[in-house]
Amino acid sequence: MTSTGGETIAHRICSFCEACCGLELKLRDGKVTGIRGNANDVLSQGYICPKGAALKDLHEDPDRLRKPLIKRTGRFVEATWQEAFAEIEHRLPDVMKRYGRNSVASVVGNPAAHNFGLLLYIPRLARAIGSINIFTASTLDQMPKQLSSGLMYGAWLSIPVPDIERTEFLMIIGGNPIISNGSLWTVPDFRGKAKALLARGGKLVVVDPRRTETAEAASRHLFIRPRTDAFFLLGIVHTLFEENLVRLGRLEEHLAGVELLAAAMAPFSADEVAPRCGISAETIRELARTLARTERAAVYGRMGACTQEYGTLVNWLIDVVNALTGHLDEPGGSMFPKAPAFVANISGQPGIGRGVITGRRKNRVSGAPEVMGEFPIGCLAEEIEVPGEGQVKALISIATNPVLAAPNGLRLAAAFESLEFMVSLDIYLNETTRHADVILPGCSQLESSNYEVGLSQFVYRNVARYSPATLPRPEGQPAEWENMMRLTAIALGKGADIDVDKMDDEFLADEIRGRTSGADTEAVLHALSRWKGPDRLLDLAIRRGPYGDQFGLNPEGLNLEKVAAEPNGIDLGPLAPRVPEMLRTPSGKIELAPAMLITDLKRAEADLARPTPELVIVGRRQLRSNNSWMHNLPILAKGAFRCTVMVNPEDAKRLGLSNRSRARICCDGRSIEAQVELSDEMMPGVVSLPHGWGHDLPGLKLTLAAERPGANLNALFDDAMRDPLSGNSVLSGVAIEMTPIG
């Protein structure tokens, strides 16, 4: 922070989305007077989107909760922190005692991934509760990529990203980074980087059932029938083998399963798959040839590639194509970042590991396998509804709004209402938290320090950046990690009235003692003593990490003090090849043909000739929106109404729909109403509606959002529709019927 004439300049990383832009904030008298991109930030170089500036509106939003709420006879009343925790202590252990630990479920949402005070304290709380019932937004999002990466490279989050500054050819499947600003890929100012790619003679190809903003900026756009990407990619892989285009390069000795893979491709020639995906066999072959013959190329996929029943196959095949064309782990191809802290592929023995397994447990009602320690969020409602031993009776929701974000959200809402006890850690009284008995509000983002724990392994360039708290917390407001510790203490039977700092010390000492000898533990604790809470965990992780000072063994190395001293961040250089050092598979190789995926090809083969439904619906992200929770911020809510269903004019004619008319959208007896927007951006037979809307439920405190509530896309979907391997919900390409209203 620097101060002149009563004005202070502060820096922090925006944690609204994965781009992680560096912000420069102007402050006067404890108020934010301006926000812009930090031109000197080592990663984002001044880039900012409209949401970054909305941090001020969020901080000032009168609807943002500042005091805990307790529900008394059906109505929320403000309470002190002491009263709120006393209520939880009174009710949560009682449920655990009467019904067992598995009766308490936790559900964690997207902002927790961007808030290290929550994220780093989830494992402690989960262990204290000891329930198998853990659910997160990952199974609405990226679980297929985590599973395919885990199987191939041995760690769930070892996910390669395009080396965009050096590539000549980038193919994007089911992602719209100009709007989303990148996902499982931290790439601020994607538009600028795409422009630079085209300017140096490179090509950008977008495969999407909508001609998206990214497609508009690309050299080529291909419509694809939703949910058929596995077939499209199988056609490419088949062609690579058929035409002898496979070029393994440096990775050859590190790849296992190439022959098995080749044999498994037999049923999927470009001619066989083309009718299913709506992309011609000639185009599929031509793309395979281009990928194989271009020196520096990468294929990348995102939400559209994940939220389908073959999500794990699709995400595996993306990396298979990169590997077979010699572009995996190569400059200009798809590469593995090297994060400074917390990441599985920087710790333990390099080059080998235990790999990943799934299905160590099955969920009680429908037998879905656990993946990465959690069950599919699509199983949450049934676990609450179906009686029997292990039925969920209490819920802890952490920064999540599944009533709008998860399929069949209204079923979930009814299930939440039937719980004996629910506590929500959130900042709003919204569609999900209205069902809670106690809401514990997190502080404003500006009032806490932060570090992007997970995203630093998906960056287009390695960096170390830390955000100190910009403003002090209001008197009495705890940090979110302190709330997490207090909940942990309650679950452990220690009561709410613990000394949080002391308990945090004890946990940390135990965790360090597990890995070092007694005398070293004291020395390490002493070395970390200038930090508290998540900051202290961060200092420990950085110091032990690949760039760390190793507590003095590498005096030039990093620690939190050095990182915090650089408001613009520390540049750790472009991505560099990491295979085999980053592998954590038991074989020490990249598994190109994991048994689970080869077996799953049979399911795809049997489904090759499935007929195309007449009309399907897909989702759409928008620049001034972020999932379900930013529709209450004035700077973002202004302008044209955006929750419209885009329909191709040809389809509209057939269905009797006109621009701005209202339509009913039905799916298996569930229905919503939405405003029609005619658009030739849409592939015929496909309509698109954004998710995260539907703020017209009773009992919300979202004044502005409720003025233009929009429709809840997820109210249409069946929560049982999943990719059986990863448990990810199917949220795309779902067959619907559409009829005019009035």
Ligand X SMILES: Nc1nc2c(c(=O)[nH]1)N[C@H]1C(S)=C(S)[C@@H](COP(=O)(O)OP(=O)(O)OC[C@H]3O[C@@H](n4cnc5c(=O)[nH]c(N)nc54)[C@H](O)[C@@H]3O)O[C@H]1N2
CB nearer to ligand SF4: give 51 or 327.
51
CB of 503 closer than 8 Å to CB of 485: yes
Q: Which stretch binds ligand X (CB under 6 A): 133-141, 338-346, 455-463, 582-590?
A: 133-141
CB of 168 closer than 8 Å to CB of 203: yes
Q: Which stretch binds ligand X (CB under 6 A): 251-259, 449-457, 549-557, 619-627?
A: 619-627
d(CA 648, CA 688): 10
CB nearer to ligand SF4: give 58 or 86.
58
CB nearer to ligand X: give 126 or 583.
126
- Binding of residue 18 to Mo ion (CB under 5 A): no
Number of residues that bind Mo ion (CB under 5 A): 1
CB of 178 closer than 8 Å to CB of 212: yes
Residue owning tokens 């650089």: 566
- Binding of residue 534 to ligand X (CB under 6 A): no
- Binding of residue 732 to ligand X (CB under 6 A): yes
Q: Which stretch binds ligand X (CB under 6 A): 70-78, 134-142, 487-495, 650-658?
A: 134-142
Nearest CA among 424, 456, 418 for reference residue 437: 424
- Binding of residue 212 to ligand X (CB under 6 A): yes
| Shortest distance in whole angstroms from residue 626 CB to ligand SF4 | 7
CB nearer to Mo ion: give 51 or 238.
51
Nearest CA among 336, 377, 364 for reference residue 159: 336
- Binding of residue 467 to ligand X (CB under 6 A): no
d(CA 299, CA 291): 9
d(CA 323, CA 298): 10
Contacts of 631 (CB under 8 A, 6+ apart): 625, 637, 692, 693, 695, 702, 704, 705, 708, 710
Instruction: Answer with the entry of ligand X, Mo ion, ligand SF4, none that 625 interacts with (C-beta below 5 to 8 A by kind).
Output: ligand X
CB nearer to ligand X: give 543 or 695.
695
CB of 91 closer than 8 Å to CB of 421: yes
Instruction: Answer with the entry of Mo ion, ligand X, ligand SF4, none that 236 interacts with (C-beta below 5 to 8 A by kind).
Output: none
**H-run or E-run covering 692:** none
- Binding of residue 186 to ligand X (CB under 6 A): no
Determine whether 29 is exposed, middle or buried from the number of CB atoms within 10 Å of its CB (0-12, 13-18, 19+). exposed
CA-angle at 325, arms to 322 and 330, nearest 5°: 65
d(CA 482, CA 496): 11
Residue owning tokens 């502005």: 704
Instruction: Answer with the entry of ligand X, ligand SF4, Mo ion, none that 14 interacts with (C-beta below 5 to 8 A by kind).
Output: ligand SF4
Instruction: Answer with the entry of ligand SF4, ligand X, Mo ion, none that 714 interacts with (C-beta below 5 to 8 A by kind).
Output: ligand X
| Shortest distance in whole angstroms from residue 303 CB to Mo ion | 7
- Binding of residue 224 to ligand X (CB under 6 A): yes
> Which residue in the set 52, 68, 150, 177 belongs to the binding site for ligand X (CB under 6 A)?
177
CB of 375 closer than 8 Å to CB of 126: no
d(CA 182, CA 95): 41
CB nearer to ligand SF4: give 17 or 262.
17
Instruction: Answer with the entry of ligand X, Mo ion, ligand SF4, none that 48 interacts with (C-beta below 5 to 8 A by kind).
Output: ligand SF4
Q: Which of residues 117-146 bind Mo ion (CB under 5 A)?
A: 141
Question: What 3-state class would DSSP assign to 446?
Answer: helix
Length reported for the chain: 742
- Binding of residue 149 to ligand X (CB under 6 A): no
| Shortest distance in whole angstroms from residue 455 CB to Mo ion | 12
The residues of the shown chain that bind ligand SF4, judged by CB under 6 A, are 14, 16-17, 19-21, 48-49, 51-52, 181, 188
Nearest CA among 36, 7, 39, 42 for reference residue 24: 36
For residue 465, give both structure tokens.
């950046």
Strands 421-426 and 394-398, how do they pair? parallel
- Binding of residue 615 to ligand X (CB under 6 A): no
| Shortest distance in whole angstroms from residue 11 CB to ligand X | 19
CB nearer to ligand X: give 273 or 524.
273
Instruction: Answer with the entry of ligand SF4, Mo ion, ligand X, none that 226 interacts with (C-beta below 5 to 8 A by kind).
Output: ligand X
CB of 159 closer than 8 Å to CB of 146: yes
CB nearer to ligand SF4: give 175 or 188.
188
- Binding of residue 115 to ligand X (CB under 6 A): yes
> Which residue in the set 559, 625, 726, 728 belongs to the binding site for ligand X (CB under 6 A)?
625
Measured from each CB, the residue nearest to ligand SF4 is: 52
Question: What 3-state class would DSSP assign to 258?
Answer: helix
CB nearer to ligand SF4: give 557 or 690.
690
For residue 39, give both structure tokens.
């031109």
| Residue type for position 569 | G
CB nearer to ligand X: give 264 or 636.
636
CB nearer to ligand SF4: give 38 or 462.
38
CB nearer to ligand SF4: give 182 or 311.
182
Nearest CA among 626, 329, 338, 327 for reference residue 458: 338
| Shortest distance in whole angstroms from residue 154 CB to ligand X | 24
Q: Which stretch binds ligand X (CB under 6 A): 281-289, 326-334, 337-345, 419-427?
A: 419-427
- Binding of residue 627 to ligand X (CB under 6 A): yes
Give the bridge partners for 207, in sequence order: 173, 222
Contacts of 237 (CB under 8 A, 6+ apart): 261, 265, 268, 288, 317, 320, 321, 324
First to last CA, the chain: 58
Nearest CA among 252, 347, 356, 355 for reference residue 584: 355
Residue ranges that bind ligand X, judged by CB under 6 A = 17-18, 109-111, 115, 137, 140-141, 173-177, 179-181, 183, 207-210, 212, 224, 226-227, 229, 302-305, 308, 399-402, 405, 425-428, 430, 442, 445, 480, 618-619, 621-623, 625-629, 691-692, 713-714, 731-733
Residue ranges that bind Mo ion, judged by CB under 5 A = 141
